[in-house]
Every structure is written in C-alpha cells, then in structure tokens.
Structure 1
Amino acid sequence: MSISGKKILIAVSGGIAAYKTHFLIRDFVKKGADVQVIMTPDAEQFVTKLSLSTLSKKPVYSDFYGDNGTWNSHVELALWADIMMIAPCTANTLSKMVHGMCDNLVIATYMSAKCPVFIAPAMDLDMYIHPSTKKNLKLAEDFGHIIIPAESGELASGLIGQGRMAEPETIYTAVENYFTGNIPAKSLEGKTVLITAGPTYEAIDPVRFIGNHSSGKMGFSLAEEASKRGAKVILISGPSAQVLKDSNVELYKVTSAREMLAKVFEFYDKIDIGIASAAVADYAPKEVAKEKIKKNDDNLTIELVKNPDILKIMGEKKTHQFLVGFALETQNEEENAKGKLEKKNLDMIVLNSLRDEGAGFKNDTNKIKIFTKTEKKEFNLKSKGDVARDILNFVESQLLK
C-alpha cells in the first residue's frame, strides 16, 4: 500500500515551524493523497488559510463554525481520516491533547479520532527538554501515537539545540513507512537498558581537571538506537557537548568517576542490559586544591589515586544483567580486550583501536570488533549510528540464545 488515495488530516498549531507544513502538504498531494487541513486559531498568526487551501485543494478550518453559520463537524473530520498528523505540535497543543483540554477545533477533532495519530513536535530548546514536555510526549506515546522527534539546529530564539520540527521529508517517510508496513520492530520492548557515555573529569583544583578526549558520540548513538527499538533507556553521561535527539531517553549528567558509579548503582538492580561505553578516568588526584594552584614552580607534582573500576564492579554485582564493555586499545588489542572480557565478568566486549583511521574519540565513525567468550565478529568502518545498530543487533542475537 502506498500513500496514493490515503486520506490525511493535517492539524497545524501555532508555531514558527508552521511554514514547513506547506512543503509537507505539497509532497502528500503530489503522491496522490487526499489532504484536509485544520488549524488552531493561533496558527493563523504564522500561516494563512489561503496558502494551505491552495496547496491542499480544500477549504481549511480553524473554528467550529463557518462564516455562513454552518458547523465544521470535528466528528466527521476525525472519522474521515486514515491518519491524523499534528505538525507542528507546540507544547501548548501537546499538553491539551494528553490532558483532554478541549478548547478548539483541532483538539476536538483529535479527541474524536479513531485513526493513528502522528505528532511532529516543534518548540524552543528549553521547552522541548522540560520535564513536563518529556512527560507529555511519553503519555502521547503510551496512547499509541507515533512521535516524530524534533531535530537539532538553530531555533527561532537563536539558541542551538533540539526543538526544530522534523523536516517534511522525514515526516513524509514516517507516514509512507506506516502505510507500507515498513515500521521498525520494537525488538527491545519491555527491556531496560543502561548506557554510560563520555569522559569523566577528575578535579585538580577549582579550574583544572584530568580528563580524556571522549566525545560521548558512541554512547548517545547507542541510547537513541535502543530507544527506537522500544527499550526504556537510562543514559548516564560525563561532560559532553552531544545533544540527545530522543526525548524518551532518561539522561543523567555526572562529572567524576565516583559520581558515575553512584548513579549507575541507583538503577543497576532493575536493568536488563548494561552498556559501559564511557571512557572513565583511571586515576584522580588524591587531594583537590580548594583554590586555584598558582604557576610558581617549574614543576608540579600531583599524587594520583586509582578510581573505582565501574565496569569491574558491575561485573562483580551482576545477577541477571547482560553486560557489555568497551576496550579502546593501541597495542595487543585483541589480547587485551579478551582479558578484560574475562577479568570483568562481561558477556560481550566491543574493541576499537586508535590505530584504525576514523575510529576512536571525537570521530563520527568507528571500526569495531566484538568478542564474547566463544565468538568474534569484525565490522568495517561505519558511522557511529550504524555501529550502534551493529552492537545492538549482536546483543539481541546473544539474548535469543
């Protein structure tokens, strides 16, 4: 089945991203879909009924009553549609949807809909990451609605981050996939996955620290991929500039190895899969100076003490968890990775070498080998998104054994 002949009801709410809806309507109509547009009163501040009706080739409704006293039946609109798409969906409209605050034609139509509902949120960065928005998106997903996550980029406020409505091509593809049945299986539904990511910083004084070059890209990619597969995902990240693109992932920020250890064991007993991709500092200063250390001497000696080995402790306390570790090596790679697999009581370890061009810290790509106690699998250089899929595919294959 294709989009041709499908009846698509598009609801536009009052956000700056409403201009993108023109391109979405055009794409649906070009592919033979029958498109009906409705809008909230506030949406008329951003786009006109004339432009939307010209593209959809139908009248556009924003009120319960027409100019000639006729009733624009929200019931008929809802029952007519094969799918309903709210794009853009503002924080205000989302809140009204999930809490049943029915004060306009869009919400009344939504509450009468029997068809699948797609939601393309769009709002400013701080609004998108606010706990109330995350909760409302989760509620909408629990209702069975299909969320098309906001994307990252420059926002109308001038901030840069997640909140931009997905591009029309992305939304179109999501709808096309729905009608063709090409929907990714929720293969990790019912599972809880804990992932550590990024570096840790160990303070020397109030302004200096010991750290490493880890960006967190691999861990964030793993978190987003696990969430796509239906898992409940807990992401514990050291200092990282990465932007989380999936609002369903629970993100916890920490700084030091000891903070990461404490946060991991807040959840460890309740998780099914643990993936330790963080580059945890092995050592920390024995004492942290209370004031900035002045540059007085030619040499500075700092006594270091060993940090807790988070992954080793996870392995020691493992009961039912499937535990995945990472090894970044520069020599004797396979031997060291296999040793770590055994010593830390892991089920699986992912090896990458700094000698492989394009692999390791900060890169958008990675080249990995995966080991269990009985298996070895090698992969070519790929994007970290693709590497995340390879890793989780391998995890799933082990869980089925």
Structure 2
Amino acid sequence: MRALVLALLLHDTSALSTATLKPPKLATASTQTLALPFAELSELVGGTGRARSIWDAVRSGQEPLDADAPTTVGARRVLEASGLTAFVPACLEHKDEAADGTTKLLVRLADGLAVEAVLIPHAHLPRTTLCISSQVGCDQGCRFCATARMGLVRNLTPDEILAQFVIASRVAAQSTRMPPLTNIVFMGMGDAGRNAINVKLAATSLIDGEKFRMARSKITISTVGPSPDCFRELSDADGMLAWSVHAADDALRKQLVPSAKYTVDELRAGLLDALKPRPARQRTLMLAATLIAGVNDSPEDARRLAAFVSPIVDVAQKVNVDLIPVNPTDHAPDFLRPSDDALELFRDAIREVEPRVHVALRVTRGDDKTAACGQLHIQRKSLSEARAVAAAAVDAGETPRLVLRRKVDR
C-alpha cells in the first residue's frame, strides 16, 4: 500500500508544475492602519483619546469611518483628510457554515484577490479558534493540501492579516451558537515562515493592550519550515511556534513536501536556534503531522518521529504533537484517512518512545464545507484580473468601502 501511494506521489504532478514551486518575486507593502503602532496612530489623529475611539469601534465590530461608529469627530476627519475610505482593508464576501458550526469566510481584499479564514468553535469548551491566512496561495506544494494548487500569488500585508481577525470577530459576535473568539492559529492559506516579517507585525498588534488585546499564549504561528532561517526569523514572534513536519524521514518528507530543500536535521537545528533565546514560558512548541493511510502512519514512522522530537524536548518547555488525519481533497483522491486503530497505535508508539511529549489526535471539523485542514482553496486570479474585479464591484456599488491608498500620509 505504501509503495503504491508513493508511486502516485512521484508520478501525479498535474496539480504542481515546476513554475508553481518557484517562489515569485514579492513586493513588500507598507503598514497601513490596523498594524500601525498605537503611538503613531495617536500622533496621526491628534491624541490618544481619538486613537482609542478608533479602536473602540474596531473591537465592537464597526468600521471606524462609519457615521454611527463611536469614533470621535476629530479622528474621523483626520482619517478622511488623509485619503482613507475605510480603516479595515477587506470585506466579507461569503460565509459557509458547516454542520458542526465551523464557519469558512471568504475575505475579499482591496485589490480584488481573496483569502479564506475559518472560525472553529470548540465542541465542548467556551472558546472559538480562528484559522487565519498569511498569503494568497502557497508555494510549499504539500501534496495533501488544496492550497498548493494555487501556487503563490503574493504575501498578505499585516493589515490584510489583521482584517481577517476583525471580520471573523464580527461574524462570531453575531452568531448565536459560537463561543467567544479567543484563539488564533496561522494555519490557513500560505506559510507564515515565508511571510515572517508581516506575520510578526500582525501578531504584535494582536497582543497590543490598546488594540486587539489578545493573549500571546493564544496565538500559534505555523510553518512547514522552508528553511532553517525561517525558524530563526520567527524566534521573536509573539506567539507559540508550530512546525508542520509531517515525517522525520527525509525521503518520505520530500515526497509529501516537494519544495523541501533542507534535511529535517538542518531544519531542527534552525528551530532549536529559534527556541533557545525565547523566555522559558514561550518555548512551548507544536509539531504537526498530517497522517495518510499507508504512507506515513505506521508505528515505525511514529517511533522515528518520537526519536526525532527528543532533542527538541530537551530545549522546549513543552512539546505538543498534533496528529492530523488527512482530509479529502479533489486533487489527491488517493490519500486516505488512516483507520482509528492506526491513529491510536501511532499515538501510543510516540508516547512509548518519548513520554515527555503531549500527543493529541485532531478532531476533523468543517470538512463538509471544505473548511478542514488542507482543504482551503480559491480560484486563482492574476493581479490584473483581481483589480478589474474590484474596480467593477466598486463601480456597481456592491463592495463595502475599502482602503484605496496604501499608506496614510502624515
């Protein structure tokens, strides 16, 4: 079975061309509104009182430039005079609720491109997690992930990342069946390690007591580990780090993640370099493995993974191993979920070899609406096509006001 599925991996390249895996040149957009440091916003609008009124509006789910928002008249006038048409540079285009309450959001950006984010209410506890995107598309090419079919279009700016949170907060607040939004995982479309600078700026805004007021411990920043330096660049990120390792065997991991250029030992060294300078309480780490029947779900795979994790446990304060049964996608129909017995044997084998780690079997949520892990995908458009879509929508008056200027002049 394993040989058969690996043969399919080697020969089925219809969804991933060489061009898809080649990182495009990305322009870095400047910080705009949501990620603007509070002190700079206060200076811009003429005082902390005015700045706080803007953030009171954002946290209450309102657009600060709307007439009925609690924004002060002075703050609103300054923002409008600076050329803003909206403080939140995106809008909710569509939402799709699964039977278990998981809700997938299609978020339209100001240039017409779009990303998906997912609200995941806990089945038993009073909390909701937001799975947030960091890129339009992705260039890591994971064989089991639908986003890989898009390739990478561009990085999201810090504001576009934060806009997903603002929009999701509104949806959660308006829902009668969704607990409060308390947790954020950067596990949506894209790889946070490929957009580390903007992800870190967004995370810093999320924990700012004057802005989003999230707890650092409730933020998880995940990467497949494109390079050792990607881990090192995330060393000072505000949030728990997560590595989607998938397999501890280099040959097998290369089949699952065809963009992999470094050995798992090299990547682990970069991860350890990132963990060591962090305060002890911030060394909690998540390692995720998507398990595919007959490919990487054997007890031998588990023991190899456990042995690989041991040096990490020596450095980290706490290590959680998250086992994710593969979710079905149209482009990988031959990838099947392991049986419950296989999942339990895998979990038990890890615990036997490395009892210091906490191992959890992830419960699939939202798969009936393609909102589960690995299922996020939207029709890819070129930037020129996307801008034409956005312009047509604005002309037709069908789109909420968006940020038209990329930077507020001060």
TM, length-normalised to structure 2: 0.31
Larger C-alpha radius of gyration, 1 or 2? 1
Structure with the bigger RCO (C-alpha within 8 Å, sep 6+) is 2
TM, length-normalised to structure 1: 0.32
Compare the two structures and name the one with the higher strand fraction: 1
